[in-house]
Structure 1
């Protein structure tokens, strides 16, 4: 079951809210002979998480199907990069699992012991069975917090985002059944309003479709930091008047700081990323953007929302790559 993005956290009778963890969504099948872990996209994750499969095998009876989020803690915060390292660890996988053990944070139970499917039961009943099932389980298997108290939700968004690294809040109806593939839940992402420098566009300079962004680092370089969602027609027309092609470098000057196309690895996607063809522009225009808090290793993992160009700002007024950003949490009501 999936969640539809919303701009405000919904309120009302029968609604409950859970932290949106910064990890990988995972369905766990406790089979008679072992455990099978499946990503949201259907990818087999079993071999990458021997620590989690071992714990499930020991603590969960055969037939159970669980839904939750794989996360890795480091210094009290979730660390998404440590999850990604599992895929490429190779021979270092067991050492990595020992040094940075993964946790499976559960929020739903899809099948009971013996394999009885309970998708049609209300969420409240599925949750109660999940809590009973995991009573006394190791800390690697944890039921996610849940609340109907908006004051608690506000505390999560204002404090847990920084302290624990959650991405926002998922809202659900206690009476709702589990409908695979349907966006019957709501997700509110904690967001920031900030600025970045436009270094390229997809489409044409005269009609930019998306913008590619960067920020100066402390050495004066302009690393790539992310890409926007598609621009509206009004945004395209206004931005086209400000963009100019990348200048040919003078002798001794530096060419455009990014390769064309952008390497596939820069996208940060898990499943089959591809190089991105784009048009390099002179990096002289500052963009105001709305981004979520999933920012690691100098890049936003998810696309940002382009708001407007800021011709009143110099590129040297934009935040540095390691600079502080002002948090924006939207309307909680």
Structure 2
């Protein structure tokens, strides 16, 4: 079952709210042969999470089917990069699992012991059965918080997003059945308003399509940190009038060019739908722009595209917050 995006957290009788975790959505099947972890795309992830399959074998009865989110904490915050390392760890997988153990945050029970299907039961009953199933479960299997209190929801959105890395809130009807493939839930992503430096554009200098963004690290180097959604007509016109072409500076007799390579390496983009390098136009990295971004990031870059708001020609690039993760409060203001 899926969630439709919304601009506000729904309120009303019969609605319950849960944190939206920044991880991998996984359905876990406990059968006679062990445990099968299936990603949202249908991929078998069982091999990469021996710590989770071991916990499920020990605590979950044969026939049960669980729905939840795989997460890994790093320095007290969810780390999407650590999840990805599980896939590429190779022979170091067991060591990685010991050093950065995963957690399976559970929010639904689709089948009970013996394979009894629960899809047609209301969410409240499925939740009650899930709570009973997890009474003696190890810490790696965690029941997600759930509330009807909007004060608690706002606490999650204002405090948990920065402290633990949740992306927002998922809202569900307590009476709803589980309908695979249907967007019968709602998801609200926390977004913040902040600043970044425009370091390049796709399209052209006169007609920019998207903006490539950067922030400085503690050494003063401008590092690539993300890309915007496509600009609308008014934004293209505004930005075209504010950008400056790249000017080569001189340092010790050698030209100092742009701090990023062109094309942008595929590994920098973080976009699964764009595995090839990204061609772009380098610009003078002197313009600050205001953006709206969610709180999901990896490798010190925003993982999802951000929304361009406006150019800030009167703001110095040295007034922009430091690179993601290098300054307290680096997310900006909710």
Residue pair 1:192, 1:325 contacting (<8 A) in 2 also? no
User: Following TM superposition, by how much is the alpha carbon of 1:271 offset from its aligned partner in structure 2, in angstroms?
Assistant: 7.7
Residue pair 2:123, 2:173 contacting (<8 A) in 1 also? yes
Q: Please identify, of 97-106 and 268-277, the stretch whose mean Cα deviation from structure 2 is larger.
A: 268-277
For the residues of structure 1 that align with 2:218 and 2:137, how far apart are their CA atoms?
A: 46
Answer yes or no: is 1:284 the counterpart of 2:286: yes
Which runs of structure 2 are paired with 1:31-180 in the superposition (5 Å)? Answer: 31-180=31-180
**Partner of 1:294 in structure 2?**
296
| SS at 1:307 equivalent | strand
**Partner of 1:255 in structure 2?**
257
Cα pair distance change 1:58/1:271, threshold 3 Å: farther
Cα pair distance change 1:326/1:223, threshold 3 Å: closer
Q: Please identify, of 84-93 and 153-162, the stretch whose mean Cα deviation from structure 2 is larger.
A: 153-162
Question: TM (normalized to structure 2)?
Answer: 0.92
**Partner of 1:14 in structure 2?**
14
For the residues of structure 1 that align with 2:171 and 2:257, how far apart are their CA atoms?
A: 47
Which runs of structure 2 are paired with 1:172-251 in the superposition (5 Å)? Answer: 172-248=172-248
For the residues of structure 2 that align with 1:121 and 1:197, how far apart are their CA atoms?
A: 51
Instruction: Mark the runs of 5 or more structure 1 residues left unpaired by the alignment.
Output: none
Cα pair distance change 1:328/1:313, threshold 3 Å: closer
Q: Please identify, of 22-31 and 145-154, the stretch whose mean Cα deviation from structure 2 is larger.
A: 22-31
Cα pair distance change 1:76/1:220, threshold 3 Å: closer
User: Following TM superposition, by how much is the alpha carbon of 1:195 offset from its aligned partner in structure 2, in angstroms?
Assistant: 0.5
Number of positions where the alignment pairs a residue of Structure 1 with one of Structure 2: 329
For the residues of structure 2 that align with 1:199 and 1:111, how far apart are their CA atoms?
A: 51
Q: Please identify, of 11-20 and 264-273, the stretch whose mean Cα deviation from structure 2 is larger.
A: 264-273
CA deviation string 1:102-121 (max 9, x = no partner): 11010011222222332232
- Superposition RMSD on alpha carbons, in Å? 2.0
Instruction: Mark the runs of 5 or more structure 2 residues left unpaired by the alignment.
Output: none
Residue pair 2:264, 2:277 contacting (<8 A) in 1 also? yes
Residue pair 1:190, 1:328 contacting (<8 A) in 2 also? no
Residue pair 2:170, 2:187 contacting (<8 A) in 1 also? yes
User: Following TM superposition, by how much is the alpha carbon of 1:75 offset from its aligned partner in structure 2, in angstroms?
Assistant: 4.0
User: Following TM superposition, by how much is the alpha carbon of 1:287 offset from its aligned partner in structure 2, in angstroms?
Assistant: 0.8
